[in-house]
Amino acid sequence: MSEIHDFEKELDQSTKTWMVFDVLRDMDWHCRECEYTHTGITQIAGGAGIQGLQRGTKSRPGLVIDSGNHLCANCDKTTRHDRWQGNFTRSVPSSSMPKGFARRAVALLGSRDVVELTERPPNQLTVDHKLPQVRWNSTETNAQQNYSAMSDKEIRTHFQLLKKSNGSVSHNLLKSRACERCYKSGNRGTPFGIRFFYDGDGKWAPADKNDASGRVGCGWFDFAAWRDALNKKL
């Protein structure tokens, strides 16, 4: 209980992150569609919500949160639910991407979302870290966030452009859910239900969850490389 008490002391109770934690702290399943409307967060899975609590900060650990689809008794729909296990994990704090770097990355990567190969204005694109933050160790964190010194080659290595939501589910959200499931279960993602891996198979091979070699071959990690390999096989 002292660990939970210490965690709560690190959270500012005037923030939206606290409001999300306040829902989850009973360790029951909670519906993303109807149980967080009071927070005013439009993307409850994002950095101010579930994902932010999972990755933690420099001053507090992350939460171990299960996610799954369940029938909600309140809205009578099968929706995405989350449940805090009551456990903590090491934090993977994020560093805000400078706007200048984001503009540079969008220009370098052709202002085109990698999934649909459609050129879009910058406000419709997410500069996506190919390797999800949950997989970063300290060395990888430094490499992924060395924005001021990153070369063009390093940008192409570490990033891809994904479409933001325009009324439909964003590709970034689809990837985040797949990576979340993979980290917990060891089952790698299958973009749009296509079970193809250009390296390895459907299992995360390394014993270490933060061994980045397990990413290679997954479509969500590098969608362009995955599509090229799939086209060659076809």
Q: What is the pLDDT along the chain (234 residues), one digit of tens a residue?
A: 578 888 888 888 899 999 999 999 999 999 999 999 999 988 888 778 888 888 788 788 888 888 889 999 999 999 999 999 998 877 765 667 899 999 999 999 999 999 999 999 998 999 999 999 888 887 888 889 899 999 999 999 999 999 986 656 689 888 988 998 898 899 999 999 999 999 999 999 999 988 889 999 999 999 999 999 999 999
**Beta-sheet pairing, 125-129 with 30-31:** unpaired
Residue 182 to residue 3: CA distance in whole angstroms: 27
Q: What is the pLDDT of residue 214?
A: 93
The answer to whether the CB of 128 falls within 8 A of the CB of 121 is: no
Residue 164 neighbours by CB distance under 10 Å: 16
Q: What is the pLDDT of residue 93?
A: 58
Tell me the domain boundaries of the chain. 2-89, 99-233
Residue 81 to residue 66: CA distance in whole angstroms: 8
